[in-house]
Structure 1
Amino acid sequence: MRVVSTVETPTSHDLRAYTTLRLGGPARRFVEARTAAELAETVGELDAAGEPVLLLGGGSNLVVADAGFDGVVVRIANTGWDGSTVSAGQDWDAYVAATVAEGLGGLECLSGIPGSAGATPIQNVGAYGCEISEVLHSVELYDRGTGQIRTIPADELGFAYRTSVLKGTDQGVVLSVRFSLNEDGLSAPIRYAELARALGVEVGERVPAAQARDAVLQLRRRKGMVLDAADHDTWSAGSFFTNPIVPDEQVGDVLARIGDVVGADVAVPQYPADGGVKLSAAWLIERAGFGKGHQGPGGRVSLSTKHTLALTNRGGASTEDLLELAREVAGGVREVFGVQLRPEPLLIGCRL
């Protein structure tokens, strides 16, 4: 496997330096694992010693308490790829860019997403009409229960909207990920209407993967969803809330309540989902009275000025500031529409 980056031993245990929100307190201990074997061995030894362990990849999906983590943070720092197989610690977008450059299609609509490759199957990362579950072949993981390294095919990972059997548990430590990519240099069928319009094609058409990647990156930049240290709108964990899925038996009542608030003639964005209907969290947030740039405590946190679904650190914020804003927004949507929003990032040592 071609090694493409090296990771320096960190000099600070402050987790703010390792999360895209730039929030979080210190870790009691901090170690790095730079190969798959080292990652499995390190986690195994810590488990045997009874140490609390927090696995850290790119830090793009973590909200860490101000008190930090009273245990050992293991940074997953194994990098590199070989065609359709990528190490868990590899920067995700660098890998996507490489697959496109090598004439492989299938991941282009997932361009610009921050974080590491190993996290993508855990939460079934998705964007612009594509989900990891559609292109994943298998994952190689260290099973903390048995101490064995196993290869798990995609159909055994229990994928659903923004989740898998790996989410919410560290039982399986992802070591590498293998994808099923096409070799004709074309994208997967374009299924997201906004992207299709940007590309000037009909929904369902395929385009050169590089063209699709460029369009996705442009769309994400407009929404503050491509990391930029100089842009506080990108000091976030991406979309903070998942799009809520309303069970079939509740859809009529919920849509009626929404209609009472916004007007019966207003079209409510909704999409088919297993067992119900998926609504747009961003749409609900805006119509509940929280516009772009809505500020939290002291203006230290706010909704992004470009996208209402991102909660951002404006500099000098604390994790509690962010959580207070999240509670305000979720509470407002619940009060106005009766819909409960759920956080997408993992909350470490804290809760809404």
Structure 2
Amino acid sequence: MTANISFAQITTMGVGGYIADFREPMTRVDVIECVEEADSKHIPLCIVGGGSNILASSAEFNGMVVRDARRLISVLDEAAPVRDEHDRTVHVQAEAGCNFDDFVAQTVELNLEGLEGLSGIPGTVGASVVQNIGAYGQEVATSVTSVEVWDRQTKQSYELKHDDLQFGYRDSLLKRSMFAGPGQPAAPFHPSPRYVVLSVTFALKHSTDGTVGHAQLARALNVEQGSRMPIAAIRSAVLKVRGMKCMLEDAMRYRDPAMEATKKPANVELAVQMQQRQMQELLSADEVMADAEATAVGQSLLLDRHSCGSFFTNPIVTPEESKRLPADAPQFRGELSDGSEGVKTSAAWLIDHAGFHKGYAVSDDARASLSTRHTLALTNRGAATSDDLITLARTVRDGVREQFGITLVPEPVFVGCTLD
């Protein structure tokens, strides 16, 4: 048990109160025993990874927070070129506590295709499958073959195969086990899933090249969408695009004692150096900026990273509902929760066109605002409380609903607080 740890120290948003009981189990058995202890005592349990998808109350959390300290990555097949070009599959297993970008970096180093588009997404491998993270034409579900879990209801561990996981857009069976519906927490498991992830097995392809599967990424690489490029180049481009939008986490957080050892030290230093270069690149866009102004802008850009990334998921509506959207609203094919055909639109577009532009805050002295680089990120501008973020999120959600008749659903897990 570690004392005097707060959610503010272990989340990318930097918001949240002190934790009564913080555990970092080092073995598989210890993870299960921590979960069982909390459940047997009927105290709130929060499984946390990198803290990149959590908005926690600023009040004390009178429960147990478990952060898996196991970070082993194992190549289950020989990751060497094979003679049979039709079967280049390599299975790689990662323990749930492994930093997700550390994992992506290692797969790229091994010339394993399949996750390079997910570079820079914060959090852990365990959390990645709960949320079914995705970006730039890839999502975790495409590469996952199985997940080993501890079932808090049956008190057993077992392997869930890909189809068992029921992946959907930013969704999975794991995530739904703690919600009654989109954004509706449900007892008895919330704020953690019924199924606690222990390890994840991925099927990747041995290849030095990957597919550029997203238009924005293709523009950054100056190639056609669908082109094949070295996966190392794709990873670098993703990191640059995300960084220039300030949609990477603040790399300096890993120098805080509460986050030490959660990411490989060498990768921390690389991330810090890249962050500094990107900040300088953004600042150099205006060469006549005075020193004092540059300092203020630089601090603002850093605070843009104090978020949990995309705060709202992109809505998927029925074809009939999509007809009520403005003609210039983005529309893509999507799938509704019942499996029927739907239309996905852009939450960022809706937010901006409802009048909530980059940098929007509810007042001049507000401690929370939309990012100055991206309308989909809600940011802590310094000493923000959970109430500050809730007020901002509620204002944006209600404004979009009034303007377009669509209720945005938050992406982060709320711990000890609610948007309603």
Normalised to the residue count of structure 1, the TM-score between the two structures is 0.91
Aligned to 1:184: 207
The offset of 1:11, in angstroms, is 4.2
**1:202 matches 2:224:** yes
Question: Alpha-carbon deviations, 1:122-177, whole Å to 9, x = none?
Answer: 01100111111111111111111222211111111111110001004221100111
SS in 1 for 2:359: coil
SS in 1 for 2:43: coil
Aligned to 1:351: 418
Aligned to 1:3: none
Aligned to 1:263: none
Aligned to 2:112: 104
Aligned to 2:375: 308
Aligned to 1:148: 156
Q: 1:13-28 maps to which residues of 2 (within 5 A)?
A: 13-28=5-20
* Counterparts of 1:51 and 1:301, CA distance in 2: 31
* Counterparts of 2:27 and 2:51, CA distance in 1: 18
**1:174 matches 2:240:** no
Aligned to 2:316: 245
Normalised to the residue count of structure 2, the TM-score between the two structures is 0.77
Match for 1:333 among 395, 400, 410?
Answer: 400
Q: Does the aligned pair in 2 maintain the 1:140–1:174 contact within 8 Å?
A: yes
Q: Does the aligned pair in 2 maintain the 1:144–1:171 contact within 8 Å?
A: yes
Match for 1:69 among 42, 57, 61?
Answer: 61
Q: CA RMSD in A?
A: 1.4
The offset of 1:285, in angstroms, is 0.8
Amino acid in the other structure paired with 1:171: R
* Counterparts of 1:57 and 1:242, CA distance in 2: 20
Among all aligned residue pairs of Structure 1 and Structure 2, give the percentage whose two residues are the same amino acid. Answer: 47
Q: Does the aligned pair in 1 maintain the 2:366–2:388 contact within 8 Å?
A: no
SS in 2 for 1:72: strand
Task: Go from structure 1 to structure 2 and tell me whether the alpha carbon gap of 1:283 and 1:207 turns closer, same or farther (over 3 Å shift).
Answer: same
Amino acid in the other structure paired with 1:203: Q
Q: Does the aligned pair in 1 maintain the 2:2–2:21 contact within 8 Å?
A: no
SS in 2 for 1:37: helix
* Counterparts of 1:132 and 1:97, CA distance in 2: 15
* Counterparts of 1:157 and 1:317, CA distance in 2: 36
Q: Does the aligned pair in 2 maintain the 1:282–1:308 contact within 8 Å?
A: yes
Aligned to 2:129: 121
Amino acid in the other structure paired with 1:20: T
The offset of 1:50, in angstroms, is 2.4
**Stretch moving more, 189-198 or 280-289:** 189-198
**1:292 matches 2:292:** no
SS in 1 for 2:304: helix
* Counterparts of 1:61 and 1:192, CA distance in 2: 24
Q: Does the aligned pair in 2 maintain the 1:123–1:162 contact within 8 Å?
A: yes
**1:55 matches 2:122:** no
Amino acid in the other structure paired with 2:236: D
The aligned length equals: 333
Aligned to 1:268: 329
* Counterparts of 2:212 and 2:50, CA distance in 1: 28
SS in 1 for 2:173: coil
